[in-house]
Amino acid sequence: MKKSNYLRNLVALLLVCAIAGTALAQRGPGRGKGPGRGQGHGRGHAGVGQGQGNGHSQAHDRDHADFRYLLTNHQKIRRDVQLLPNGVKTLTESDDPQVAAKIREHVYWMKERIEKQQPIRMRDPLFAELFRHAKQIKMVTENTPKGVRVMETSENPYVVKLIQQHAKTVSEFVKRGFPEAMKNHPVSTSAKEPAPLEYHHPRIKEYGKVVQLPGAAQQPRDQSKICVDLTKGGPADKLNPSIEKVARFVNIYEGAGKDPAAAKIAVVLHGDATLCALNDDAYAERFDTKSNPNLDCLHELHEAGVEIYVCGQSLVGKGGQPDQVVVFTDVAVSALTSLVNLQADGYAYVPLK
């Protein structure tokens, strides 16, 4: 009996030692007690890197915590950057032993990210572009008594420029701290310079200018259905700005994204926007103008396939008549019934008030 208990205890002890040894091997540099130890490790951190699984979540949280620590203590850090024909040589140090240890730790893990192609700060254009070329980057690090020296090089001239721009950006982190870290850093050089952003009118030619952003998030989806609830008025002698916004909606789906996307758009005019749909004669008599300045844009919307409805209740309530409404619009029983029916038909509700 005693021999059996002894064997069970021995097996348990060996198992504990094996687990402890594995844990110590995975902790990396600076994870023990003393200067440079971070806090909050082990919690997942969304938005940093692109790994999956608990191990990666711990790495994300670790790097995030290290980065915040260095930004908080940026005034204690000094940095020298030397540009080389094929990259950079940097020296980053601090007289504070804890900050110096954290600098070495941060560089160790960033070197590992480059070598294993595990991105970080992918919302920042410069960092995203740098990690896209991580295979072509070589990092050599050397710890110093107060920090770390880094040699970062590439055989690709374009990647060399990325490395040099990144080094300058890190120097700005050291100089300014959090205000600089909150910024996006555009890529100042590229293999092919992008064309400058210019406004254009892909469908409605005179109204609703847009810029094309093919790489942006939330691209227009094909077969979208939009119900615009338009109640806002404006000066009687000028185009209602909200009507031009609808033209912009049309142009966004036609040519502001990567590819054109078909969309069904319906506009319901009521409230202060009701009388924008009067024909020229009725509008001129009502507002003492030469004509209705909204009709040209409304007609362009009609030609682009936009359905235009006028609230019959608001129209009569404001002294208008259904036969005074311009021919290419429809008088509905009410804005209420129009909005309810359109949403029941799958249209997304977009108010312009």
Model confidence pLDDT, tens digit, residues 28-49? 454 333 333 333 333 333 333 3
Predicted confidence at residue 188, as pLDDT, reads 80
Question: Residue 246's pLDDT band (boundaries 50, 70, 90)?
Answer: very high
Domain-wise residue ranges, the chain: 39-181, 209-352
What percent of the chain has a predicted confidence (pLDDT) above 90? 76
> What secondary structure does DSSP assign to 100-115, as a single string?
HHHHHHHHHHHHHHHH
Say how far apart CA 115 and CA 44 lie, in whole Å: 22
Q: Which helix (H) or strand (E) holds 275?
A: none
Q: Quick one: which of 208, 207, 162 has its CA closest to 185?
A: 162
Predicted confidence at residue 53, as pLDDT, reads 37
Q: Give CB contacts under 8 A, 24+ apart, made by 135-141.
A: 137/163, 139/111, 139/114, 139/115, 141/107, 141/108, 141/111
Question: Residue 16's pLDDT band (boundaries 50, 70, 90)?
Answer: very low
Predicted confidence at residue 160, as pLDDT, reads 94
- Cβ contact 229:235 at 8 Å: no
pTM of the model: 0.61
Q: Quick one: which of 163, 146, 263 has its CA closest to 204?
A: 263
Structure tokens at 83: 């540009």
For the domain spanning 209-352, the CATH number is 3.40.1260.10
236-251 in b/e form (b: 16+ CB < 10 A) is: beebbebbbbbbebbb
Per-residue pLDDT tens over the stretch 275-324? 999 999 999 999 999 999 999 999 999 999 999 999 999 999 999 999 99
- Cβ contact 211:258 at 8 Å: no
Predicted confidence at residue 279, as pLDDT, reads 97
* Residue 333 scores a pLDDT above 50: yes
Q: What is the DSSP letter of 330?
A: E
More confident residue, 25 or 148: 148
Q: What is the mean pLDDT of residues 186-210?
A: 82
Q: In whole angstroms, what separates CA 43 from the centre of its chain?
A: 24
Question: Residue 10's pLDDT band (boundaries 50, 70, 90)?
Answer: very low
Q: Identify the burial level of 172 via C-beta atoms within 10 angstroms of its C-beta, where 0-12 means exposed, 13-18 middle and 19 or more buried.
A: middle
Q: Which helix (H) or strand (E) holds 170?
A: helix 157-176
Q: Which helix (H) or strand (E) holds 147?
A: strand 147-153
> What secondary structure does DSSP assign to 35-95, as a single string?
TT--SSTTS--TTSSS--SHHHHHHHHHHHHHHHHHHHTGGGEEEEEEEETTEEEEEEEES
Q: What is the mean pLDDT of residues 82-102?
A: 96
**Residue written as tokens 């620590």?**
69
Say how far apart CA 245 and CA 220 lie, in whole Å: 16
Residue 42 CB partners (closer than 8 Å, separation 6+) = 58, 61
Say how far apart CA 147 and CA 103 lie, in whole Å: 6
More confident residue, 67 or 58: 67
Predicted confidence at residue 30, as pLDDT, reads 45
